[in-house]
Homo-oligomer: A and B are copies of this chain.
């Protein structure tokens, strides 16, 4: 019974069907195909704004390419202490940006507050000797399974923009956050001030499909050249674009996210007092103790330790295709006396 990661989930039928449908004879390569050419329009409707969108195959590529268009090599990127870009991408932002420096900010439940950002930026002495503040990156949902509310994002963006920084959102679990908040995609992105979004579908039912979505078209600049030289311009781009079109147009983005979120809420409820963070997406962080973890594993549940194994904390992730029976069993195990 796997609660490892939504990265392990299968491809949902609507998306696999779209791949089939795109498999018709010869198309033009490298993104000049009918599917990719529809992307700006379809995502523009989804977000209720003019956008420029580019497909890539991984979230790390989306994040790092987006940040590299915002950040010079001598720039600084501000992110949460436990951000994916800081902890789980093997230094990708430094690589893509040509050496830019990550500046990490602490904050509860995986979030940076506007105040903490302002305090960090104000305490820095900026000169030719320092790195130059360039971008802020936040995750929605966060690494700790919480979701920023629109007002929180707007406050952060205001602090950043007032000081000349741009704001990137790592939306690897964007659908889960939006489904939880019950808001529109626009409310937590451009309307709140987000400049560029890594819009992930892979964790929520796609085979491998992410889009970098620019809400400010002046920022696109050299994105396409950076993507190409990083090996992220896919020759058969149509098969990635087709996944994203289906993801958005069929509504599976919300349906899958709601299913996973619902499971996570049930698991969170079963965990009760042992919860480490509010459950606002599809991840549940629980303090189980070494014995508790061992007991769950002995009962057939698979999941990752959170932090060092000795810490006794666990991460339980519900995927869009999780078996309901397994969730029932996990809840029962968590509530067993």
Contact = CB atoms under 8 A, between A and B. Distances in A.
Nearest to A131: B91
B60 A228 contact: yes
Contact of A235 (B89, B97, B202, B225): B202
Interface string A111-131: 000000000001101001111
Contact of A129 (B26, B202, B228): B228
A336 interface: no
Contacts of A74: 90-91, 95, 222, 225-226, 228-229
A95 B26 contact: no
Contacts of A7: 29-30, 235-236
B125 A308 contact: yes
Given A4-B26, A74-B222, 16 more contacts: A8-B26, A11-B236, A16-B19, A19-B207, A57-B234, A58-B234, A65-B231, A72-B222, A74-B225, A87-B129, A91-B131, A92-B229, A92-B231, A94-B99, A97-B99, A128-B228
A337 interface: no
Contacts of A233: 58, 60, 128
Contacts of A59: 231, 235
A321 B94 CA distance: 41
A62 B234 CA distance: 12
Contact of A230 (B129, B230, B321): B230
Given A88-B130, A307-B125, A24 B10 contact: yes
A101 interface: yes
Nearest to A13: B23
Interface residues of A: mostly helix, strand, loop or mixed?
Answer: loop
A163 to B, nearest CB: 14
A96 B73 CA distance: 10
Interface of A: 2, 4-5, 7-11, 16, 19-20, 23-30, 56-62, 64-65, 72-76, 86-92, 94-102, 104, 122-123, 125, 128-132, 202-203, 207-208, 222, 224-226, 228-236, 239, 307-308, 319, 321-323
Contacts of A4: 26, 28-29
A151 to B, nearest CB: 28
Which 10 pairs between the two chains have the least Cβ-Cβ distance?
A: A61-B231, A94-B99, A7-B29, A7-B235, A60-B231, A90-B229, A95-B99, A90-B228, A98-B98, A2-B26
B73 A95 contact: yes
A241 to B, nearest CB: 12
Contact of A229 (B10, B73, B224): B73
A102 B23 CA distance: 37
Nearest to A172: B235
